Every structure is written in structure tokens, then in C-alpha cells.
Amino acid sequence: MMRLVVDSNVLFTYFWRNSALNRILDHDVKLFSPEYALTEIEKHREEIIEKAKMKENDFSGYFYLLKQSVDFAPKSSYERYLEEAEKVAGYFSDAEKEEIRDDADFLALSMALGCPLWSNDALLKKQGKVAVFSTYEIITLFSPKNPVSKKENFDDLIAWIKEKDKKFKGKREKIDYDLIAYGVSRNGKISHKR
């Protein structure tokens, strides 16, 4: 079973019909996120309801199901890795440091669990402490055509993703079209409506 830490922006997509997150939940995967992410979802409740074109009580039902589908870890379970995760910000420009610090809980949980992080944040890909997979890479990993999708050797998975990415250089529009079908626009923002 593959284990992944999921960031707040990916969790937001749970409320969109046919999102990549909903499709991945049908696979042999265990998802984790800091409890802090639940606060983020509540904070953006109205925005999620509006973008997903859903009713308030539908949101509550989906939110309940999300809490059953993802293991939300208390800060105490990864707290000892927070300092190391925050140090990652030291390698970035002043403008980027705050953004990295905002994601420290996700990085720390990934370090504590020894598993990759699912995030569309390009800046997180630049750090070297935790493997970070974008939604496109997650979709690719779970593709029935992926020969390594059943393996737990993340080095093989990362190598396979890099090889696939080279293959699609110059064919970005096709990739973008595939991502949009899964609810992700070219810049990694969610675009699919419920």
C-alpha cells in the first residue's frame, strides 16, 4: 500500500466531482495530513462551497467523509520534525521562505512517516528533504499502464516519473489537457467545478 501526505489544496479537491483525489481513494493508498489541514478547510468553507457549486449540508456530508478517508495526524505525531522542516526555508529567497514555512507541517509529517508529499506547489519540489509529487505525477503513478504503480520502491517511482516527463517535453498541451480533465489547470490551481 502506498502512503502519501496530502496538502490542503489537494484536500480541497475532495469536494469536486471526479477529482484526482476522489479517484485515487479507490486505489490501495493510505492518505495522511496534519490536523491543521482541517482548520484550513473550515477557513475556506464558503469558497469551496461556491467553487464546487454545492449546498452547505452537502459540504458537511463531504467533510465528514473526507475525515473518514484521510488520517489526520495530531501535531504531536510529527512535532519533532518541525524544526528540520522549517530549516528547509533557509535555502530559499526571502520571498519564498514564508511560503515554505506555511507548508512546514506537511513536510514534517512526510519526514515523520517517511513517505512522499502530494502537492502542486512547485516551490516544494525544489527542497530535497521530501519527495513531492504533483497531481499529474499521482495520476501517472496510479495509471493502469504504469509498470511500477504496485511497487513501494519510491526511487523506482521517481525515476519512472522523470522518464515520463522527458517523453512529454514539447507535448505540454496534451498533458495540460489531461490535467484539466482531472481538475488541475496549467498553473496547478483547481479548475474543475462540481
| pLDDT tens figures, 94-105 | 878 877 778 899
pLDDT at 159: 62
- pLDDT of 184 over the 80 cut: no
Bigger pLDDT: 32 vs 148: 32
* 182 phi and psi angles, rounded to 5 deg: -95, 5
> What single-letter DSSP state applies at residue 128?
S
Angle at the Cα of 121 from the Cα atoms of 43 and 126, rounded to 5 degrees: 140
pLDDT at 176: 35
Bigger pLDDT: 144 vs 17: 17
CATH code for the structural domain at 2-135: 3.40.50.1010
The confidence band for 194, taking pLDDT boundaries of 50, 70 and 90, is very low
Contact 22, 14 (CB under 8 A): yes
Contact 135, 10 (CB under 8 A): yes
Half-sphere exposure of 180 (CA within 13 A, CB side): 8
Domain ranges of the chain: 2-135
pLDDT at 94: 81
Task: Supply the mean pLDDT for the chain.
Answer: 79
- pLDDT of 124 over the 80 cut: yes
Question: pTM for this structure?
Answer: 0.74
* 175 phi and psi angles, rounded to 5 deg: -60, -45
Half-sphere exposure of 2 (CA within 13 A, CB side): 24
- pLDDT of 193 over the 80 cut: no
